Homo-oligomer: A and B are copies of this chain.
Amino acid sequence: MHLTGNLLIGQQSIYGGNGTIKAIDASNGKAIEPAFGGATLDNLDVACALAWAAFDEFRETPLEARAKFLEAIAQNIVDLGDVLIERCMTESGLPRARLEGERGRTVGQLRMFAEVVRNGDFIGARIDPAQPERRPMPRVDLRLRHIGVGPVAVFGASNFPLAFSVAGGDTASALAAGCPVIVKAHSAHPGTAELVGRAVQKAVKDCGLPEGTFSLLFDSGREIGQGLIKDSRIKAAGFTGSRGGGTALMKIAAARTEPIPVYAEMSSINPVLLFPHALKSRGQAIAKAFVQSLVLGAGQFCTNPGLVLALDGPDLDLFIEAASAALKETSAQTMLTPGIQNAYEDAVEKAAGHPQVTTAARGRDREGANQAQSALFVTTADAFRENHELQEEIFGASSLVVRCRDLDEMRELIEALEGQLTSSLHLDVADYDDVRSFMPALERRTGRLLVNGFGTGVEVGHAMVHGGPFPSTADGRSTSVGSLAINRFLRPVSYQDLPEALLPEALKTGNPLGLNRRIDGKLQLAD
Chain A residues near B (Cβ < 8 Å): 55-56, 60, 115-116, 119, 121, 126-128, 137, 139-140, 142-144, 147, 149-150, 250-251, 254, 258-259, 261, 418-419, 429, 432, 435-436, 439-441, 443-444, 446-453, 457, 459, 461-465, 467, 469-471, 474-479, 483-484, 490-499, 501-502, 516, 518, 520-523, 525
25 residue pairs of the A-B complex, CB under 8 angstroms, read A56-B440, A115-B521, A128-B459, A140-B453, A142-B463, A142-B464, A144-B463, A150-B444, A251-B254, A254-B259, A258-B471, A259-B474, A446-B493, A448-B495, A449-B493, A449-B496, A450-B496, A451-B497, A451-B499, A453-B496, A462-B520, A462-B521, A465-B492, A477-B490, A477-B491
Nearest-Cβ distance from residue A380 to partner chain B, whole angstroms: 25
* A146: nearest chain-B partner, CB-CB: B477
CA distance A502 to B443 in the complex (A): 13
| A518 in complex: contacting residue of B254, B435, B446, B462, CB < 8 Å | B462
> Is A137 a contact of B457 with CB atoms below 8 Å?
yes
Contact partners of A501 in chain B: CB under 8 A:
432
**Among the listed B251, B418, B459, which residue makes an inter-chain contact with A139, where contact means beta carbons less than 8 Å apart?**
B459
Closest-CB distance, A255 to chain B (whole angstroms)? 8
Q: Which residues of B contact A457 (CB under 8 A)?
A: 137, 140
Q: A464-B144, A493-B448, A498-B451 are in contact. Are A250 and B259 (CB under 8 A)?
A: yes
- On chain B, the residues within 8 Å of A476 by CB distance are 149, 491
Q: Count this chain's copies in the assembly.
A: 2
A461 touches B142 (CB 8 A): yes
- CB within 8 Å for A521 and B143 given contacts A127-B463, A462-B128, A495-B449: no
CA distance A259 to B249 in the complex (A): 13
Instruction: Assess the B419–A258 pair: CB atoms within 8 A.
Output: yes
Instruction: Report how far A478 CA is from B146 CA in the complex, Å.
Output: 11
Contact of A465 among B144, B418, B446, B499 (CB under 8 A): B144
Q: When chains A and B are docked, how far (Å) is the Cα of A477 from the Cα of B477?
A: 12
Does B449 contact A494, Cβ atoms closer than 8 Å? Answer: yes
- Taken together as a complex, chains A and B put the C-alpha atoms of A139 and B457 apart, in Å, by 10
Q: Is the CB of B258 within 8 A of A149?
A: no
List 7 extra interface pairs beyond A447-B493, A478-B492, A479-B492, CB under 8 A. A56-B440, A139-B461, A144-B464, A258-B470, A469-B491, A477-B490, A525-B525
- Closest approach, in angstroms, between the C-beta of A16 and any C-beta of chain B? 30
Q: Is the CB of A453 within 8 A of B149?
A: no
Instruction: List residues of chain B with CB within 8 A of the CB of A432.
Output: 499, 501-502
Q: Which residues of B contact A525 (CB under 8 A)?
A: 523, 525
Instruction: Pick the 9 closest A-B CB pairs, nearest first.
Output: A450-B496, A465-B494, A254-B254, A56-B440, A142-B463, A144-B463, A126-B463, A448-B494, A462-B521
- Shortest Cβ gap from A496 to chain B (Å): 4
CB-CB under 8 A from A470, the residues of chain B are 258-259
CB <8 Å contact, B119 and A521: yes
Q: Would A447 and B259 be within 8 Å (CB), given that A126-B463, A463-B143 are in contact?
A: no
Among A452, A478, A494, chain B packs the most CB atoms within 10 A around the CB of A494
* Closest partner residue, chain B, to A497 (CB atom): B451
User: Contacting A448 at CB < 8 Å: which of B461, B478, B496?
Assistant: B496
Set B55, B447, B497, B520: member contacting A494, Cβ < 8 A = B447
